[in-house]
A and B are shown apart, each in its own frame.
Chain A
Amino acid sequence: MAIVEVRDLKKYFGKVRAVDGVDLTVQDGEFLVLLGPSGSGKTTLMRMIAGLEQPTAGQIFIDRHVVNDLPPRARKIAMVFQSYALYPHKTAFANIAFPLKAQGLRWEEIRERVEWAAKLLGIAHLLDRRPRELSGGERQRVALARAIVREPSVFLLDEPLSNLDAKLRHAARDELKRFQRNIGTTTIYVTHDQIEAMGLGDRIAIMNEGKVRQIGTPYEVYHEPADTFVATFVGTPPMNLIARAERLIGFRPESFLPKEIYNAHEDLVSFSFHVRRVEHLGSDRLLYGQLAGKDDSPVIAKLPLTVSIPIQEGRSYEFAVRCGDLKFFSRESGWRTEPEF
């Protein structure tokens, strides 16, 4: 159990600023997700916390101690890698036992703890198999068992679900979250998958170009994005942004609905929406089109199944957004600004 904190952390590879001044505090027992597109610096940030990468500048604290100069083995961290990085020539048992052997524990104690971890993850019957004889999901559990077996203060997970197929990923996500709640270890989780991030994170730190753009709960980053990057990165389809004078006005596709479904007394802003194409996705309908007027930036509306108003391609409709669902951003900086009517 530990608080992880980084202060003004930087990592430059030559001219490339992989991590460019990050401040971040992960609370004791918290599940923090680092979310960002590839190349945003999230993995480099995690590798610096792990001690696999030396920061160019800044400080890393684990449990209130500066760990910059400590090797990974002295940081009481455990890491699960994207490829799981199991030792291919060792059995599952020997893989899980490896960190304990490195600590120099007695054989009986090693066996006891490996069996405890294996039981916790439901892989006790697989212990004498080698990684190549295990399925993707089983490998992932072995990797998790190897991480928890020495009861680390901090868990670092680098896209551990990305190698699983879509069906398995769903179940594994739920399992991982329950598992982390049970053991209550501070966890930092790197992913580029926003659904994973929203589903798993107590808080999400959204990164782009080496900087943290926003830290907040899944609700906050979705409903109160700090800038246009967060607004368009989180949510599928992304937030619509239309230019009006010095600002950008943003609204979520699911907040953009036919005017007739709102109550008459609601504060609405209405637009004439020209629908170019309709996609039927089962639970939703996606409407692609533009707003009438000079601005022809693309706008997407997402109608839930409950809105059964017929929509035809190539026609215009009156659509509206609740005033409270409009977000305003500075056109110059992309940062959020105060609403103004």
Chain B
Amino acid sequence: MVEAAREIPRARYRYLLDRERLLGPLLISPAIGYIVLLIGLPLLLAIYLSFTNAISGQLSAQFVGLKNFQTILADPLFFQALKNTFIFTSISMLIVLILAKILALALLKSFPGRPIVRFLILLPWVAPISLTTLSWDWVLGASNATLSTVNWTLRAVGILGPQDWIWWTSYTTPAMAAIILIHVWRMLPFATIILLAGLTSIPQEIQDAAVVDGAGFWRRFFEIILPLMLPIVAVAVLFGIIFTATDMTVVYILTRGGPYNSTHVLASLAWQRGIFGGQLGQGAAIAIFLFPLLLIVAFFMLRLARRTEVT
């Protein structure tokens, strides 16, 4: 009895980590710390900066209220960038969704070499985007049209003459198309994998039942597969929108917003204004502008995902 009584206090400390009320907060704290330090504080700083006349290289800044927002709202370039962000995001998401869906359906069927194909499809996603954009620069000849593989191919088949060099990214529409193309190429693996996961989560017996019930491919697709995948598609679209709308790597490396600012998106404009132009306050105001819009998108997408959940 005496032995046992002495054991108890030690046991209390030994099993400390078995208590969920202690272990839970302990395990979640690194994640919370990470979010607060690396996402929360910069976000608050950006919101603060957007209300000041801060410029780079200077520590003091004065509160100027909504002046930065007034300035950018009076700037046609800002609306150009906003429109571009919208076009860039919506068109690339639409193409990504359609292609990813087709790819996911194709990868669902087993065929020889499927593991290798599944691996290869992931490559654009795992390669650093700045490096792959440089490769695309070379393909399209954004920096030097005489090196463009597209131009050389067109020459080889006789469409271009010996002295014709097309600077693809020097024209507004091809430049935007090139940016969308690269972005689609980059986002496709991610979307495909998510949709593939959604597809494989539909029980085989339900798909078999639809076949036996006499539904053809389109009826199965629109009445069974698509509704059952909607929650996961909504999450994929949400991620895609946020990744796309806040991305500037492709724009920055390929065109730097040109020609004539025709490919600037909000993220690249904010970078140019705030970091290169030194107008930290204005840059922050441009960057912050997207925040409430994306918040609304996230709210509706998550609600859609929850509403369409059936099991």
| Chain A interface residues toward B at CB < 8 A | 47, 50-52, 71-73, 77-79, 81-83, 85-89, 98-99, 101-103, 130, 132, 146, 150
CB neighbours (8 Å) of A102 from chain B are 213-216, 219
Are the CB atoms of B215 and A73 closer together than 8 Å?
A: yes
State the CA gap A52–B213 with chains docked (Å): 12
* Residues 167-214 of B contacting A (Cβ, < 8 Å): 203, 205-206, 208-214
CB neighbours of A73 from chain B (8 A): 211-216
Distance to closest chain B CB from A165 (angstroms): 20
Which residues of chain A are near B216, meaning CB under 8 Å? 73, 102
Tell me, yes or no, whether B224 is within 8 Å of chain A by CB: yes
Contacts A89-B228, A132-B311 known; A52 to B214 CB distance under 8 Å?
no
A-B pairs with lowest CB-CB distance, top 6: A73-B214, A85-B209, A102-B214, A85-B205, A99-B213, A88-B310
Report which B residues bind A (CB closer than 8 A): 203, 205-206, 208-216, 219, 223-224, 227-228, 308, 310-311
Q: Is the Cβ of B214 less than 8 Å from the Cβ of A103?
A: yes
Q: Which residue of A lies closest to B230 (CB)?
A: A89
A102 to B209, CA, bound (A): 12
B310 touches which of A83, A101, A130 (Cβ 8 Å): A130
Interchain CA distance A77-B216 in the complex, whole Å: 15
Give CA–CA (A230, B216) in the complex, Å: 41
Residues A81 and B214 in contact in the complex (CB < 8 Å), given A98-B223, A130-B310: no
Q: Which residues of B contact A83 (CB under 8 A)?
A: 203, 205
B214 x A87 contact (CB < 8 A): no
Task: Report yes or no: A79 in contact with B212, Cβ–Cβ below 8 A.
Answer: yes
Beyond A98-B215, A98-B223, is A52–B310 a contact (Cβ under 8 Å)? no
Contacts A77-B212, A85-B203, A88-B206 given; 19 further ones with Cβ under 8 A? A50-B212, A52-B208, A52-B212, A71-B211, A73-B212, A79-B212, A81-B205, A81-B208, A82-B205, A83-B205, A85-B208, A85-B209, A87-B206, A87-B209, A88-B311, A89-B228, A102-B214, A102-B219, A132-B311
* 19 pairs, CB–CB < 8 Å, chain A vs chain B: A50-B208, A50-B212, A52-B208, A73-B212, A78-B213, A79-B208, A81-B208, A83-B203, A85-B205, A85-B206, A86-B206, A86-B209, A87-B210, A88-B228, A89-B228, A99-B214, A102-B214, A132-B311, A146-B213
Residue of A nearest to B308 (CB): A89
CB distance from A326 to the nearest CB of B (A): 45
Task: Report the minimum CB–CB distance from A71 to chain B (whole Å).
Answer: 8
B224, A87: Cβ atoms closer than 8 Å: yes
Taking A88-B311, A102-B219, A132-B310 as contacts, is the C-beta distance between A72 and B214 under 8 angstroms? Answer: yes
Min CB distance A307 to B, Å, is 47
The number of residue pairs between A and B whose CB atoms lie closer than 8 Å in the complex comes to 68
A79 — which chain B residues lie within 8 A by C-beta?
208-209, 212
Tell me which residues across on chain B come within 8 A of A78, comparing CB atoms: 212-213
Min CB–CB distance A187 → chain B (angstroms) = 15
- Chain B residue, CB-CB nearest to A53: B208
Instruction: Judge whether B211 and A72 touch: CB under 8 Å.
Output: yes
Please measure, in the bound complex, the distance between the C-alpha atom of A89 and the C-alpha atom of B203, giving whole angstroms.
13
CA–CA, A132 and B223, complex, Å: 18
* Residue from A51, A82, A89, A132 having most chain B Cβ neighbours under 10 A: A89
Complex Cα–Cα for A86 and B205 (A): 9
Asked if residues B203 and A72 are in contact (CB atoms below 8 Å), the reply is no
B219: nearest chain-A partner, CB-CB? A102
User: Which residues on the A side are within 8 Å of B223 (C-beta)?
Assistant: 87, 98
Which residues of the partner chain B approach A88 to less than 8 Å between Cβ atoms?
Answer: 206, 228, 310-311
Enumerate chain B residues within 8 angstroms of A146, measured Cβ to Cβ: 213
In the bound complex, residues from chain A placing their C-beta under 8 Å from that of B212 are 50-52, 72-73, 77-79
Cα(A65)–Cα(B141), bound, Å: 63
Are B206 and A52 touching (Cβ within 8 A)? no
For A86, the chain B residues whose CB sits under 8 A away are 206, 209
Task: Give the CA-CA distance A88 to B310 in the complex, in Å.
Answer: 6
Q: Which of B215, B216, B308 has the most CB of A within 10 A?
A: B215
